[in-house]
Amino acid sequence: MAENLAPFPVIANASGPPDDGTIIKAPRYCQKADRAKCGEFYAFIRGTPGIYTCPYGYSALVSPSGGDTVVFSGLKIEGKFDRHKVGARNDNSYSPRIPLEVAQSAAKQYISQLRIQDKNVELTEFINSTIHEVRKLNGDIKAQMDEAGQELKKKAGANLDFVAYRIENAFATSMLVTTRLDFYDYQSNPEIVTAGRMVPTPIYKKFQKTMHCLRAGAKQNGVTIAITGSCTATIEAYKIFELLPVVLIENAVKFAPKGTQIDIEFLDTRPVIVEISSLGPLLDDGEEIRVFEKGYRGNHAKKLTSGTGIGLNFAKWICDLHRVTISVKSDRGRITNLSGVPNAPFAVRLKFPE
């Protein structure tokens, strides 16, 4: 069990006694109290922030912590404990009376520290994942260039198409390295992304360039990429906007089965609408919204490949930054089972501002 670093006793398990705090220890009586009675009480209050009095007279403070709560107990918060019940037990535990505002302030500071710790753990895991991916991509670039170099050594007999293909692959991979590093900037310091100025950016050209850069890597996976339609519209955008098509098309390539095609379609509408469609893991009910949550991965996508679950979250952040509406749809009426995983037509729709 992890050490309790809170100033007050904490209920880590509703069926067990409180863990001692760093300043105030849990009352000795809590060790021998009726666990079923206590467990029922703490299970009842855990989900609702507030101040309560436990069955044995002590104060219990429930504080929100992210999507969860922390339950402090074994306290004597002024006006919030039963002095008759507590006094009758007289177990000689050091348990001073605490003003309500002091108890709330100490609990709030502890919750803030927990959130900082959680963020640091999350960032450390992301950094380690980024380093691992960048090293792998760097190795891929080196291998591609080595193959191109060996072919060029043949001089007159060199297959220049082979060399061009390897260089194109290396360039596409370098774009993915840039994406990973920009992911890191976004994760560690989102403000740096908006430090520059917005400039008119051609929407179609950014998608077309990304298609050409990622096409070689997609071909290695047995997947093709095609673009239809066109537009001359521009959007006032930060440099980070360039990564939007990279993230979305790379995500499609990652999940598209061998022998399928990814279609990028510019619809003839005002405002500009772009759809990226492919075959991919089926989204269950409600997942069309949840896939944009940081760290969330679809139930069926997890069966196919590993990942951090930040790609679509990052894409939505870029879209929100530029007032672009993003949505996804999985066609549950056209399910195909591949290697035991249900796949369906999957589309990402981008609606640009007027």
Give the start-to-end residue ranges of the domains of the chain. Answer: 28-98, 120-351
pLDDT digits (tens, 9 = 90+) for 275-291: 999 999 988 888 999 99
16 near 33, Cβ under 8 Å? no
Longest dimension (CA), the chain: 99
Task: State how far the Cα of 210 lies from the Cα of 242, in Å rounded to an integer.
Answer: 9
Q: What pLDDT is attached to residue 200?
A: 95
**pLDDT (mean) for 241-267:** 92
User: Quick count: other Cβ atoms within 10 Å of Cβ 211?
Assistant: 17
Q: Share the mean pLDDT of the chain.
A: 86
Helix 203-220 with 160-188: angle, nearest 10 deg: 120
- 10 Å CB burial of residue 165 (0-12, 13-18, 19+) is middle
Res. 167 pLDDT band, cuts 50 70 90: confident
Give this prediction's pTM: 0.63
Minimum mean pLDDT range among 87-91, 134-138, 294-298: 87-91
Architecture of domain 120-351: 2-Layer Sandwich (3.30)
CB neighbours of residue 201 within 10 Å: 17
